[in-house]
Structure formats: structure tokens, C-alpha cells
């Protein structure tokens, strides 16, 4: 049985044998294989590029696509790989503008270093499970379908936002799906902390700019997280700082605050991302969390990449 390695966000791995296992959402993995030396490697990142306009010194370089890919290719070079012998696959980037930016960052960086992009499986609304054989370059990936996310009880949601109108919008988004139950609404983190202990939510939506305590500071105060957190804020990812720090602290995903006109379109993405977040969190907490399932999708097979 091949040795399996998990590559989390902010990590790279290069090796001769074994299988790399990755769970991708808006994050992206670049899988690289040397056809001559028969070695493979992967980078897993959640942000597109380091921005010169904001202070990102506190964030590890491997969380950014341009840096992660550069360092991954450096590892191949140290092992004697030539760029012409390398082929790359890009997988992930689901469900948001951040995901699409991650994909574009991967394309530009690989092109910059002269690496051929062999195949892509990007975008969409669902997370992907990926297995990459380091000795053959074969990749298997499978989208997580809705029917796989079965829950025996309603998912309890805690909404934390100082805007009453946004709380109403988010409450309506979750109330429209019988799989969810909003168990609390907080105007700021001090209220959220009381409700968190009282209601024991399965997931929390969290704003960043609020009275008494900002969302990032509150997130830091409750780590390690006992449930997944979705950041829903006015801040844009391009502004760097607060959103990036929240993701660094373990937030599952980021959304811009929706308007009433966007409830239908963005609401579906928020609900599906919440399902994925709770499902992924519960699996990590399971005693079987280190067991990697064999992924088989024969009806969708194409050479080398199966998605």
C-alpha cells in the first residue's frame, strides 16, 4: 500500500514515492511531475500573491500562490529537474472570487517559470478531494456532491455582525434551507461569546469590523476553533490585512457581505460552503480522520487526471 501524505494549506511536498492527499475548496493545489526523474510534488495555497501595498510580513510565504509555486519549483531544481521535463496540473479554486484569483495566480506563475500546464480542474461550487501519485504523476480528484453531505440533525448557525440588516439577510439565507437552524444573533463578539457557550453552534458567520472587539481579535481568542467560521465582511481580499489574518487563524472561507438583491445567488454559495465546512470539520474530529478513501470515478476518467 502506498504511503499517503497530507498536504495542508501553506505546505509543499516533493518526493519520489507515495501518494499526496489534499482537500481543496477555494484554495488551490499545483501538482508538478518530472517525467524523466519520475518525482512529484505539490503546493497548497489559499491566497493569490503577496501584495506590495499591504503589510503581509506576518503571513507565511507558502500561503501565497506566487511564493508557494516558486519554492516548490526550487525544490525540483535542487533535485536536478529541468523545467522542460516538468508538467503541472492546477486543481481547486471553488466557489468564490478568491478561488478564481488563486487559479489565475497559479497560471501566471507557472507560465513565468516556463512550466507546461498539462491539465486543470478548477472553479465550480464544490470542494474537491485529490490524490496525487508521486511516482507516476497520476491524479484522481472528485468533487464533493451535495448528496454526500448528510446530517442527522440541523446545523446550528451563530451569526455575528453589528449590522441588523446583514443579520436579517444571513438569517433569511439559512432559514430558507431546512438543514440549518439559526440559534443566535450577536451584535458584537462580547454577545457572541455568551451565545457561543449557550448554544454550542456547528458553524459561525463572523464580521470583522464591530464594536467592543474586532472579528479577527475575537477569532484569535477562541482558537483552537471548536467549529468552522465563515468570514462575511465589507473588507475585500485585496485589502490584505484583516481578511488574510482571519484566514491564517483558521477561518474556513471568506465572503463579501451580500445585499438583498444578491440573496438568491450568493445565498446558495454561503449555504453550500457552510455544509462543506461542517462536513470537513467533523471528519477532522473523527477517529478515522487519517484514513484516506480510495476515490473512484470511472465514468469520468481521462488520461492522467480523473475529475
Per-residue confidence (pLDDT) for residue 292, from 0 to 100: 37
**Pairing of the two strands 155-160 and 203-206:** parallel
**Domain range 4-144, CATH architecture:** 2-Layer Sandwich (3.30)
Instruction: Using 50 as the pLDDT threshold, list the residues of the chain that sit under it.
Output: 1, 53-58, 146-149, 288-304, 306-307
Per-residue confidence (pLDDT) for residue 152, from 0 to 100: 63
pLDDT per position as a tens digit, 2-49: 678 888 888 999 998 889 999 887 789 999 999 999 999 999 988 788
Residue (of 218, 255, 251) closest to 234 by Cα position: 255
Cis peptide before 224 (omega within 30 of 0): yes
Per-residue confidence (pLDDT) for residue 93, from 0 to 100: 83
Helix or strand (DSSP H, E) at 274:
helix 263-285
**Assessment of whether the complete model's pTM goes beyond 0.75:** no
Query: Rounded distance, CA 115 to CA 82, Å?
Result: 10
Per-residue confidence (pLDDT) for residue 298, from 0 to 100: 32
Per-residue confidence (pLDDT) for residue 105, from 0 to 100: 92
User: CATH classification of 155-285, choosing from 2.102.10.10, 3.40.50.2030, 3.40.50.300, 3.40.50.2300?
Assistant: 3.40.50.2300
Contact 62, 97 (CB under 8 A): no
Q: Which residues of 42-76 are buried (b: 16+ CB within 10 A; e: fewer)?
A: bbbbbbbbbbeeeebeebeebbbbbbbbeebbebb
The ranges assigned to domains in the chain are 4-144, 155-285
131 by DSSP, 3-state: which? strand
Query: Rounded distance, CA 172 to CA 182, Å?
Result: 9
Per-residue confidence (pLDDT) for residue 295, from 0 to 100: 33
Grid cell listed for 140: 484522481
pLDDT per position as a tens digit, 162-174: 999 999 999 988 9
Amino acid at each position: 500500500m502506498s504511503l499517503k501524505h497530507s498536504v495542508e494549506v501553506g505546505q509543499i511536498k516533493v518526493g519520489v514515492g507515495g501518494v499526496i492527499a489534499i482537500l481543496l475548496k477555494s484554495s488551490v493545489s499545483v501538482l508538478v511531475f518530472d517525467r524523466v526523474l519520475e518525482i512529484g510534488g505539490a503546493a497548497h495555497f489559499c491566497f493569490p500573491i503577496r501584495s506590495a501595498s499591504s503589510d503581509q510580513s506576518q503571513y507565511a510565504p507558502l500561503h501565497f500562490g506566487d511564493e508557494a509555486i516558486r519554492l516548490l519549483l526550487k525544490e525540483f531544481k535542487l533535485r536536478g529537474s529541468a523545467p522542460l521535463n516538468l508538467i503541472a496540473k492546477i486543481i481547486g479554486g471553488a466557489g468564490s472570487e478568491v478561488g478564481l484569483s488563486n487559479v489565475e495566480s497559479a497560471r501566471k506563475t507557472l507560465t513565468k517559470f516556463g512550466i507546461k500546464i498539462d491539465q486543470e480542474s478548477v472553479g465550480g461550487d464544490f470542494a474537491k478531494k485529490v490524490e496525487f501519485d508521486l511516482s507516476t504523476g497520476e491524479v484522481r480528484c472528485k468533487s464533493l456532491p451535495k448528496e454526500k453531505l448528510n446530517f442527522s440533525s440541523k446545523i446550528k448557525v451563530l451569526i455575528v455582525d453589528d449590522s441588523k440588516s446583514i443579520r436579517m439577510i444571513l438569517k433569511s439565507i439559512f432559514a430558507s434551507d431546512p438543514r440549518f437552524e439559526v440559534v443566535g444573533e450577536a451584535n458584537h463578539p462580547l454577545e457572541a461569546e455568551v451565545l457561543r457557550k449557550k448554544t454550542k453552534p456547528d458553524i459561525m458567520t463572523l464580521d470583522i469590523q464591530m464594536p467592543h472587539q474586532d472579528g479577527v481579535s475575537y477569532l484569535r481568542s477562541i482558537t483552537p476553533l471548536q467549529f468552522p467560521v465563515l468570514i462575511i465582511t465589507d473588507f475585500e481580499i485585496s485589502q490584505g490585512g484583516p481578511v488574510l489574518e482571519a484566514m491564517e487563524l483558521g477561518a474556513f472561507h471568506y465572503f463579501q457581505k451580500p445585499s438583498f438583491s444578491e440573496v438568491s445567488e450568493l445565498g446558495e454559495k454561503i449555504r453550500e460552503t457552510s455544509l462543506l465546512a461542517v462536513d470537513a470539520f467533523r471528519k477532522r474530529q473523527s477517529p478515522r480522520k487519517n484514513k484516506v478513501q480510495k476515490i473512484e470515478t470511472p465514468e469520468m476518467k481521462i488520461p492522467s487526471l480523473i475529475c
